[in-house]
Homo-oligomer: A and B are copies of this chain.
Protein backbone atom coordinates (compact mmCIF):
# COMPACT_ATOMS: atom_id res chain seq x y z
CA UNK A 1 0.00 0.00 0.00
CA UNK A 2 2.93 2.33 0.49
CA UNK A 3 6.40 2.58 -0.85
CA UNK A 4 8.87 1.93 1.95
CA UNK A 5 11.43 4.26 0.39
CA UNK A 6 9.32 7.39 0.76
CA UNK A 7 6.30 9.09 2.25
CA UNK A 8 2.85 7.99 1.08
CA UNK A 9 1.35 10.10 -1.67
CA UNK A 10 -2.13 11.54 -1.95
CA UNK A 11 -2.73 8.80 -4.54
CA UNK A 12 -1.88 6.16 -1.91
CA UNK A 13 -4.40 7.72 0.42
CA UNK A 14 -7.11 7.90 -2.24
CA UNK A 15 -6.54 4.28 -3.28
CA UNK A 16 -6.62 3.00 0.29
CA UNK A 17 -9.79 4.95 1.08
CA UNK A 18 -11.45 3.97 -2.19
CA UNK A 19 -12.17 7.55 -3.23
CA UNK A 20 -11.07 9.83 -6.06
CA UNK A 21 -7.97 11.99 -5.78
CA UNK A 22 -10.14 15.11 -5.72
CA UNK A 23 -12.27 13.76 -2.89
CA UNK A 24 -9.21 12.74 -0.89
CA UNK A 25 -7.78 16.21 -1.32
CA UNK A 26 -11.02 17.92 -0.33
CA UNK A 27 -11.42 15.72 2.72
CA UNK A 28 -7.86 16.41 3.88
CA UNK A 29 -8.21 20.11 3.30
CA UNK A 30 -11.55 20.24 5.07
CA UNK A 31 -13.23 21.63 1.95
CA UNK A 32 -16.91 21.63 1.12
CA UNK A 33 -18.65 18.87 -0.85
CA UNK A 34 -17.43 15.84 1.10
CA UNK A 35 -19.77 13.89 3.36
CA UNK A 36 -18.79 13.50 6.98
CA UNK A 37 -18.57 9.71 6.55
CA UNK A 38 -16.20 10.03 3.60
CA UNK A 39 -14.12 12.60 5.41
CA UNK A 40 -13.75 10.30 8.42
CA UNK A 41 -12.78 7.37 6.19
CA UNK A 42 -10.12 9.42 4.41
CA UNK A 43 -8.77 10.85 7.65
CA UNK A 44 -8.52 7.35 9.12
CA UNK A 45 -6.42 6.27 6.14
CA UNK A 46 -4.32 9.40 6.46
CA UNK A 47 -3.58 8.53 10.05
CA UNK A 48 -2.90 4.89 9.27
CA UNK A 49 -0.48 5.77 6.46
CA UNK A 50 1.21 8.58 8.36
CA UNK A 51 0.45 10.78 5.39
CA UNK A 52 1.81 14.29 5.55
CA UNK A 53 0.11 16.81 3.36
CA UNK A 54 1.38 20.21 2.28
CA UNK A 55 4.76 21.46 1.09
CA UNK A 56 6.23 20.91 4.53
CA UNK A 57 6.54 17.22 3.76
CA UNK A 58 8.78 17.92 0.81
CA UNK A 59 10.77 20.45 2.78
CA UNK A 60 11.30 18.15 5.67
CA UNK A 61 12.54 15.47 3.31
CA UNK A 62 15.13 17.91 1.97
CA UNK A 63 16.05 19.02 5.48
CA UNK A 64 15.29 22.64 4.63
CA UNK A 65 12.29 24.78 5.40
CA UNK A 66 12.61 27.42 2.64
CA UNK A 67 11.78 29.91 5.37
CA UNK A 68 13.84 32.79 6.68
CA UNK A 69 13.30 34.52 10.03
CA UNK A 70 13.31 38.31 10.03
CA UNK A 71 14.25 39.68 13.43
CA UNK A 72 13.17 43.29 13.78
CA UNK A 73 13.34 45.48 16.89
CA UNK A 74 10.77 47.98 15.54
CA UNK A 75 8.04 47.73 12.95
CA UNK A 76 6.41 51.13 13.23
CA UNK A 77 9.34 53.12 11.83
CA UNK A 78 10.05 53.92 8.21
CA UNK A 79 13.58 52.47 8.12
CA UNK A 80 12.52 49.04 9.32
CA UNK A 81 9.41 48.83 7.16
CA UNK A 82 11.36 49.85 4.09
CA UNK A 83 14.06 47.29 4.83
CA UNK A 84 11.51 44.51 5.34
CA UNK A 85 9.81 45.52 2.07
CA UNK A 86 13.09 45.13 0.18
CA UNK A 87 13.80 41.75 1.75
CA UNK A 88 10.24 40.48 1.23
CA UNK A 89 10.19 41.27 -2.46
CA UNK A 90 13.43 39.42 -3.14
CA UNK A 91 12.74 36.36 -0.99
CA UNK A 92 9.18 36.05 -2.19
CA UNK A 93 10.37 36.03 -5.82
CA UNK A 94 12.65 33.11 -4.89
CA UNK A 95 9.79 31.19 -3.27
CA UNK A 96 11.19 31.68 0.23
CA UNK A 97 8.75 32.57 3.00
CA UNK A 98 9.38 35.05 5.79
CA UNK A 99 8.67 34.36 9.43
CA UNK A 100 8.46 37.66 11.23
CA UNK A 101 9.75 38.13 14.77
CA UNK A 102 9.64 41.42 16.59
CA UNK A 103 12.37 41.36 19.21
CA UNK A 104 11.71 44.53 21.11
CA UNK A 105 13.11 43.96 24.58
CA UNK A 106 15.26 41.53 26.52
CA UNK A 107 12.38 39.14 27.17
CA UNK A 108 11.53 38.92 23.48
CA UNK A 109 15.18 38.36 22.77
CA UNK A 110 15.62 35.53 25.23
CA UNK A 111 12.45 33.91 23.93
CA UNK A 112 13.55 34.20 20.33
CA UNK A 113 17.04 32.77 20.75
CA UNK A 114 15.96 29.98 23.05
CA UNK A 115 13.09 28.80 20.89
CA UNK A 116 13.71 29.44 17.25
CA UNK A 117 16.98 27.67 16.51
CA UNK A 118 16.20 24.52 18.45
CA UNK A 119 12.91 24.04 16.69
CA UNK A 120 14.52 24.54 13.30
CA UNK A 121 11.71 26.56 11.82
CA UNK A 122 13.97 28.42 9.40
CA UNK A 123 17.11 27.99 7.33
CA UNK A 124 18.43 31.47 8.01
CA UNK A 125 17.97 34.59 10.12
CA UNK A 126 18.19 38.18 8.94
CA UNK A 127 18.66 40.58 11.84
CA UNK A 128 17.66 44.14 10.97
CA UNK A 129 19.75 46.78 12.76
CA UNK A 130 19.95 44.37 15.64
CA UNK A 131 23.31 43.15 16.90
CA UNK A 132 23.41 39.43 17.67
CA UNK A 133 25.93 38.58 20.36
CA UNK A 134 28.52 35.82 20.20
CA UNK A 135 26.53 33.36 22.29
CA UNK A 136 23.35 33.88 20.28
CA UNK A 137 25.21 33.52 17.00
CA UNK A 138 26.87 30.29 18.18
CA UNK A 139 23.48 28.92 19.05
CA UNK A 140 22.12 29.65 15.58
CA UNK A 141 25.17 28.17 13.89
CA UNK A 142 25.00 25.01 15.96
CA UNK A 143 21.53 24.41 14.59
CA UNK A 144 22.71 25.05 11.06
CA UNK A 145 20.92 28.40 10.75
CA UNK A 146 22.81 31.04 8.74
CA UNK A 147 22.76 34.64 9.91
CA UNK A 148 22.97 37.94 8.05
CA UNK A 149 22.78 41.50 9.36
CA UNK A 150 20.85 44.14 7.41
CA UNK A 151 21.37 47.80 8.22
CA UNK A 152 24.05 47.20 10.80
CA UNK A 153 27.68 46.19 10.79
CA UNK A 154 29.07 43.13 12.52
CA UNK A 155 32.58 41.79 12.74
CA UNK A 156 31.26 38.27 13.22
CA UNK A 157 28.87 37.52 10.37
CA UNK A 158 27.98 38.84 6.91
CA UNK A 159 26.20 42.19 6.75
CA UNK A 160 24.94 44.86 4.43
CA UNK A 161 25.03 48.40 5.74
CA UNK A 162 25.95 51.97 5.03
CA UNK A 163 29.15 53.38 6.50
CA UNK A 164 27.62 55.34 9.39
CA UNK A 165 30.81 57.29 9.99
CA UNK A 166 31.03 58.38 6.35
CA UNK A 167 27.34 59.36 6.35
CA UNK A 168 27.85 61.44 9.49
CA UNK A 169 30.87 63.12 7.93
CA UNK A 170 28.90 63.97 4.78
CA UNK A 171 26.28 65.71 6.92
CA UNK A 172 28.59 67.57 9.31
CA UNK A 173 31.21 68.48 6.68
CA UNK A 174 28.38 70.01 4.63
CA UNK A 175 27.53 72.35 7.53
CA UNK A 176 31.19 73.17 8.14
CA UNK A 177 31.74 73.87 4.43
CA UNK A 178 28.82 76.34 4.57
CA UNK A 179 30.66 78.18 7.34
CA UNK A 180 28.80 76.97 10.44
CA UNK A 181 30.87 76.64 13.59
CA UNK A 182 28.15 76.38 16.25
CA UNK A 183 26.52 73.09 15.29
CA UNK A 184 24.11 71.25 17.55
CA UNK A 185 23.84 67.46 17.38
CA UNK A 186 20.73 65.36 18.02
CA UNK A 187 22.11 61.90 18.74
CA UNK A 188 19.73 59.04 19.38
CA UNK A 189 20.28 55.76 21.10
CA UNK A 190 18.21 52.65 21.46
CA UNK A 191 18.11 49.87 23.97
CA UNK A 192 19.13 47.42 21.25
CA UNK A 193 22.02 49.42 19.77
CA UNK A 194 25.32 50.89 20.98
CA UNK A 195 25.22 54.06 23.09
CA UNK A 196 25.52 57.29 21.06
CA UNK A 197 29.01 58.04 22.39
CA UNK A 198 30.26 54.88 20.67
CA UNK A 199 27.96 55.58 17.76
CA UNK A 200 29.76 56.19 14.46
CA UNK A 201 27.35 59.00 13.56
CA UNK A 202 28.38 60.78 16.75
CA UNK A 203 32.07 60.10 16.27
CA UNK A 204 31.84 61.68 12.81
CA UNK A 205 30.61 64.90 14.45
CA UNK A 206 33.42 65.10 16.98
CA UNK A 207 36.10 64.22 14.39
CA UNK A 208 34.82 66.73 11.83
CA UNK A 209 34.85 69.54 14.39
CA UNK A 210 38.30 68.55 15.67
CA UNK A 211 39.78 68.49 12.15
CA UNK A 212 38.73 72.12 11.71
CA UNK A 213 40.03 73.08 15.12
CA UNK A 214 36.54 73.78 16.49
CA UNK A 215 36.12 72.72 20.14
CA UNK A 216 33.03 70.60 20.78
CA UNK A 217 30.60 72.41 23.10
CA UNK A 218 28.86 69.88 25.37
CA UNK A 219 25.83 72.20 25.60
CA UNK A 220 25.22 71.61 21.88
CA UNK A 221 25.17 67.79 22.08
CA UNK A 222 21.86 66.13 22.94
CA UNK A 223 21.66 62.38 23.46
CA UNK A 224 18.16 60.99 23.55
CA UNK A 225 16.18 57.86 22.97
CA UNK A 226 15.04 57.73 19.35
CA UNK A 227 11.91 59.69 18.46
CA UNK A 228 10.77 62.95 16.92
CA UNK A 229 9.14 63.99 20.18
CA UNK A 230 12.40 63.64 22.11
CA UNK A 231 14.23 65.54 19.38
CA UNK A 232 11.66 68.30 19.64
CA UNK A 233 12.21 68.64 23.40
CA UNK A 234 16.00 68.58 23.01
CA UNK A 235 15.86 71.21 20.26
CA UNK A 236 13.83 73.52 22.49
CA UNK A 237 16.82 73.38 24.85
CA UNK A 238 19.32 73.97 22.03
CA UNK A 239 17.31 76.99 20.88
CA UNK A 240 17.70 78.50 24.36
CA UNK A 241 21.52 78.19 24.43
CA UNK A 242 23.31 81.55 24.07
CA UNK A 243 24.74 82.03 21.51
CA UNK A 244 22.26 79.81 19.71
CA UNK A 245 23.63 77.19 17.31
CA UNK A 246 23.28 78.22 13.66
CA UNK A 247 22.87 74.62 12.52
CA UNK A 248 21.61 71.25 13.74
CA UNK A 249 22.87 67.83 12.68
CA UNK A 250 20.27 65.12 13.39
CA UNK A 251 21.05 61.41 13.27
CA UNK A 252 17.87 60.69 11.34
CA UNK A 253 15.09 62.42 9.41
CA UNK A 254 12.52 61.79 12.15
CA UNK A 255 14.73 63.60 14.66
CA UNK A 256 15.09 66.46 12.18
CA UNK A 257 11.31 66.68 11.92
CA UNK A 258 11.06 67.14 15.69
CA UNK A 259 13.87 69.70 15.56
CA UNK A 260 12.23 71.67 12.75
CA UNK A 261 8.94 71.82 14.61
CA UNK A 262 10.58 73.00 17.84
CA UNK A 263 12.54 75.67 15.95
CA UNK A 264 9.33 76.97 14.37
CA UNK A 265 7.68 77.14 17.79
CA UNK A 266 10.75 79.01 19.11
CA UNK A 267 10.39 81.56 16.31
CA UNK A 268 13.50 80.40 14.45
CA UNK A 269 13.21 80.01 10.68
CA UNK A 270 14.77 77.10 8.77
CA UNK A 271 17.24 77.71 7.15
CA UNK A 272 17.62 81.48 7.62
CA UNK A 273 18.07 81.29 11.39
CA UNK A 274 19.05 77.64 11.80
CA UNK A 275 20.13 75.10 9.16
CA UNK A 276 19.05 71.48 9.64
CA UNK A 277 20.72 68.41 8.11
CA UNK A 278 19.96 64.74 8.77
CA UNK A 279 20.65 61.18 7.65
CA UNK A 280 18.20 58.87 5.80
CA UNK A 281 16.61 60.85 2.98
CA UNK A 282 13.26 59.20 3.67
CA UNK A 283 10.06 60.47 2.01
CA UNK A 284 9.79 62.81 5.02
CA UNK A 285 12.93 64.64 3.83
CA UNK A 286 11.37 65.29 0.46
CA UNK A 287 8.15 66.50 2.09
CA UNK A 288 9.95 68.94 4.35
CA UNK A 289 12.57 69.98 1.82
CA UNK A 290 15.17 68.66 4.26
CA UNK A 291 18.83 68.36 3.30
CA UNK A 292 19.67 64.77 4.17
CA UNK A 293 22.26 62.09 3.50
CA UNK A 294 20.62 59.48 1.30
CA UNK A 295 20.89 55.85 2.29
CA UNK A 296 19.36 53.22 -0.01
CA UNK A 297 17.31 51.25 2.51
CA UNK A 298 15.25 49.10 0.18
CA UNK A 299 18.40 48.24 -1.75
CA UNK A 300 20.06 47.10 1.49
CA UNK A 301 17.07 44.83 2.01
CA UNK A 302 17.43 43.40 -1.49
CA UNK A 303 21.13 42.76 -0.98
CA UNK A 304 20.58 41.11 2.42
CA UNK A 305 18.00 38.79 0.85
CA UNK A 306 20.39 37.87 -1.96
CA UNK A 307 23.16 37.14 0.54
CA UNK A 308 20.82 34.77 2.35
CA UNK A 309 19.71 33.08 -0.86
CA UNK A 310 23.36 32.51 -1.80
CA UNK A 311 24.06 31.01 1.62
CA UNK A 312 21.05 28.69 1.28
CA UNK A 313 21.37 27.64 -2.33
CA UNK A 314 25.14 27.56 -2.74
CA UNK A 315 26.52 26.77 0.72
CA UNK A 316 29.76 25.50 -0.85
CA UNK A 317 30.67 29.09 -1.67
CA UNK A 318 31.08 29.88 2.03
CA UNK A 319 29.74 32.92 3.85
CA UNK A 320 29.01 35.81 1.47
CA UNK A 321 31.17 38.93 1.64
CA UNK A 322 29.75 41.86 3.58
CA UNK A 323 28.65 44.82 1.50
CA UNK A 324 28.81 48.52 2.34
CA UNK A 325 26.48 50.60 0.19
CA UNK A 326 27.41 54.23 -0.51
CA UNK A 327 25.55 57.27 0.83
CA UNK A 328 25.37 60.75 -0.67
CA UNK A 329 24.26 64.19 0.49
CA UNK A 330 21.00 65.43 -1.04
CA UNK A 331 20.87 69.22 -0.70
CA UNK A 332 17.42 70.73 -0.30
CA UNK A 333 16.20 73.94 1.26
CA UNK A 334 16.97 73.36 4.94
CA UNK A 335 20.64 74.34 4.89
CA UNK A 336 22.42 77.58 3.93
CA UNK A 337 25.41 79.68 5.03
CA UNK A 338 24.91 81.36 8.40
CA UNK A 339 23.60 84.93 8.20
CA UNK A 340 25.78 87.32 10.25
CA UNK A 341 23.83 88.67 13.23
CA UNK A 342 23.99 92.35 14.16
CA UNK A 343 23.07 92.03 17.80
Stretch of A54-62, A151-159, A178-186, A201-209 on the interface side: A54-62
Contact check, A102 vs B89: say whether CB atoms are below 8 A apart.
yes
Query: A120 in the interface, Cβ–Cβ < 8 Å?
Result: yes
Chain multiplicity (copies): 2
Contact check, B50 vs A56: say whether CB atoms are below 8 A apart.
no
Query: A99 in the interface, Cβ–Cβ < 8 Å?
Result: yes
Contact check, B143 vs A121: say whether CB atoms are below 8 A apart.
no
Given the known A-B contacts A60-B52, A287-B232, A287-B258, are A76 and B85 also in contact in the complex, defined by CB atoms under 8 Å?
A: yes
Query: A323 in the interface, Cβ–Cβ < 8 Å?
Result: no
Query: A243 in the interface, Cβ–Cβ < 8 Å?
Result: no
For chain A, residues 60 to 106, give those with C-beta under 8 angstroms from any C-beta of chain B. Answer: 60-61, 63, 65, 67, 70, 74-78, 80-82, 84-85, 88-89, 92, 97-102, 104
CB-CB contacts of A5-46 with B at 8 A, as 1s and 0s?
A: 111000000000000000000001111100000000000000
Q: Determine how close the nearest CB of chain B comes to the CB of A76; give it in whole angstroms.
A: 4
Query: A144 in the interface, Cβ–Cβ < 8 Å?
Result: yes
CB-CB contacts of A306-330 with B at 8 A, as 1s and 0s?
A: 0000000000000000000000000
Told that A52-B52, A98-B99 touch, could you supply 20 new A-B pairs with CB distance under 8 A? A29-B142, A31-B142, A32-B142, A52-B57, A52-B60, A53-B60, A55-B119, A56-B56, A56-B59, A56-B60, A56-B65, A74-B81, A76-B82, A77-B81, A80-B81, A85-B102, A85-B104, A92-B102, A100-B100, A228-B287
Interface residues of A (CB under 8 A from B): 4-7, 28-32, 47-48, 50, 52-57, 59-61, 63, 65, 67, 70, 74-78, 80-82, 84-85, 88-89, 92, 97-102, 104, 111, 119-121, 142-144, 227-229, 232, 257-258, 261, 264, 283-284, 286-289
**What 5 A-B pairs come out closest when comparing CB atoms?**
A76-B81, A30-B144, A75-B81, A228-B287, A52-B60
